[in-house]
Amino acid sequence: MSLIVNATAEGMLWGMMALGIFISFRILRRPDMTAEGAFPLGAAAGAQLIVSGIHPLVATAGAFLSGCLAGGITGVLMTKLHVPPLLSGILTMTGLYSINLRIMERANLSLLGEELVMSLLTDIVPLPASFDAIFVGIAVYAALTVLLIYFFKTDLGQALIATGDNETMARSLGIKTNSMKVIGLALANGLIALSGTLVSQNNGYADVSMGIGTVVIGLASVIIAEVVFTKLSLGGRLVSLVLGSIIYRLIISTVLALGMQPNDLKLISAIMLAIFLSMPKQFNKLQSKFARQSEPLELQEGESR
């Protein structure tokens, strides 16, 4: 039972990461590596603000804004300096490593004994272990989902979707596609940094290396949601992302409980992502095979002639 509770708590907090990855990889259709720098940036910025005596809610908002700034830098590199999208993210991610060290002034920063977003809830209502993270995750994710559903129904949100779907057509309709890319990447990495600060507060520390492999983790959550929950509206897809994140965490926790070493976690994540990426194609092949086998014998003989 504790395995399910812990996996749910972690999945809820990592769900914001999946939202950010979904915006950059699925809506904007841009491979953005900024996530691996934005995630620890949110953790570092939020932790430093909290240690400095800033209210945890204000510190969490500051972490979100720091991620927006990082995503905006990637967008500017891509649109104004014409650096290829993948390389733009790698450049920002590389630079953020040094910035995160400067923010924390060390490789990691402890949050033990500090007032955190989770402790604000437990001060009001005593909760069992991990349930504070679950309730905070539900509240934040629900608010973000409602805001994003509303945002994507506005003219600005529709312009962002159009830019990802068909940039040439969007430009012909008068949409400033470069601005949309900057806004989209800023929003995506703001959500990723938000996930980073919430995860660090739940763990009790921020670490400069905690962003390694986050793109794979976020993509795995998105792909799992797409494979398990099909034919959903945009709103339904946003809701399903957190479920994909929880399923991913459950699989990882189960594998570790069965005796796999924590050092193999990244390898397990990569294998899982490869499996879920290949599943739709393999499923379609099986469907086609069974459809051919179920055809009437006379029809098959006629086709062979």
Q: Which tens digits make up the pLDDT trace of 157-208?
A: 999 999 999 999 999 989 999 999 999 999 999 999 999 999 999 999 999 9
Give the pLDDT confidence of 87-134 residue by residue, as tens digits. Answer: 999 999 999 999 999 999 999 999 988 899 988 887 787 777 778 889
Confidence of residue 255 (pLDDT cuts 50, 70, 90): confident
Q: What is this structure's pTM? A: 0.89
CA 248/CA 272 separation, integer angstroms:
9
Give the tens place of pLDDT for each residue, 204-227.
Answer: 999 998 888 888 888 888 988 988
The residues near 103 (Cβ < 8 Å, ≥ 6 apart) are: 41, 44, 45, 48
Contacts of 31 (CB under 8 A, 6+ apart): 24, 25, 85, 86, 89
pLDDT higher than 70, residue 14: yes
> By C-alpha distance, which of 258, 277, 256, 281 is closest to 266?
256
pLDDT cut 70: percent of the chain above it: 92
| Both structure tokens of 302 | 């006629």
CB-based contact 113:205 (threshold 8 Å): no
d(CA 92, CA 80): 15
pLDDT tens digits along 43-54: 999 999 999 999
Residues 73 and 129 sit within 8 Å (Cβ to Cβ): no
Q: Going by C-beta distance under 8 Å and a sequence separation of 6 or more, which residues neighbour residue 120?
A: 56, 57
Percent of the chain with pLDDT over 90: 58
